[in-house]
Amino acid sequence: MLAAIIIGFVLSLLWSWAPPMIMLREELHVGCSLLSMGDEPGEYYCGDGIGYLLPVFSLLGVSLVACFIAAAITLMAASDRARPTLNLIALAPAFFIAGGTWVAAHNTWPKDNVVEHWLETMGAAATWLLATVVFAIVAAFVSPRAAALCSFAAAASAIAAAATQPGITVAAATSAGILIAAAVGRPPTAVPTR
């Protein structure tokens, strides 16, 4: 279980620099100005990558905290008791990335087309993240065998979200790793009857 959490965080760490910066700068145009005059009116003028370090560190920080909490729970609790908690902890990075991109788009774009622009950038990934949330929540409340299947489905949805929008891999890989840890945990041991 711990190995899946660590692998998920390492993958998120490897994908935590360029893809989120490209998503924030080139697709959501966070911190950019729309040129109304000059050679190319209607184009965006964006600052250098340094201005995007704080949002990227925030995404990485949420992933790191979720991994630490998940690892602590994995080490301290029996796997049958840890599973529901791991499923719910895995949602934190997914919620943070979806909410963070929504706030970034809302603060950047005019209010009349912010939904359209956010959906253009995040629509497919948000659909997969929603599936991740649904599967993870269901997994917390069903039998152990069904929970393992739901956790695997939630992890697959998180991976699909990252495939459709590489900028969210920093959060989606962490969520997927924690969900896989919940799925591969040992089933509860049967109590012998006499």
From the list 158, 163, 136, 152, the residue with the least C-alpha distance to 63 is 158
Task: Compute CA 165 distance to the chain's CA centroid, rounded to the nearest angstrom.
Answer: 11
Cα angle: 55, vertex 26, 31; to 5 degrees:
50
Which pLDDT does position 38 carry in this prediction? 58
Per-residue pLDDT tens digits of the chain, which is 194 residues long: 777 777 777 777 776 667 777 788 888 777 777 766 656 656 777 777 677 778 788 888 888 888 888 888 888 876 667 788 888 888 998 888 888 888 887 777 766 677 888 888 888 999 999 999 999 999 888 888 898 899 999 999 999 999 999 888 888 888 998 898 888 875 444 444 44
Q: What is the pLDDT of residue 26?
A: 80
**What's the CA gap between 31 and 89, in Å, rounded?**
30
pLDDT of res. 188: 47
Distance of CA 60 to the CA centre of its chain: 10
**Structure confidence at residue 189 (pLDDT):** 45
**pLDDT score at 171:** 87
Question: What pLDDT is recorded for position 99?
Answer: 86
Contacts of 85 (CB under 8 A, 6+ apart): 73, 77
- List the structure tokens of 66: 């979720």
How far apart CA 145 and CA 43 sit, in angstroms, is 53
Decide: 90 and 66 in contact? Cβ < 8 Å: yes
The alpha carbon of residue 175 and the mean position of all alpha carbons in its chain are separated, in whole angstroms, by: 6
Residue 164: per-residue pLDDT:
93
Structure tokens at 19: 């893809």
Angle, vertex CA 182, rays to CA 148 and CA 127, nearest 5: 75
Q: Which of 14, 1, 166 is nearest to 90 (CA)?
A: 1
The conformation of residue 34, written as its DSSP 8-state character, comes to E
User: Which phi and psi (to 5°) does residue 45 adopt?
Assistant: -110, 115
Residue 160: what pLDDT?
Answer: 94
* Confidence (pTM): 0.81
Amino acid at 151: S
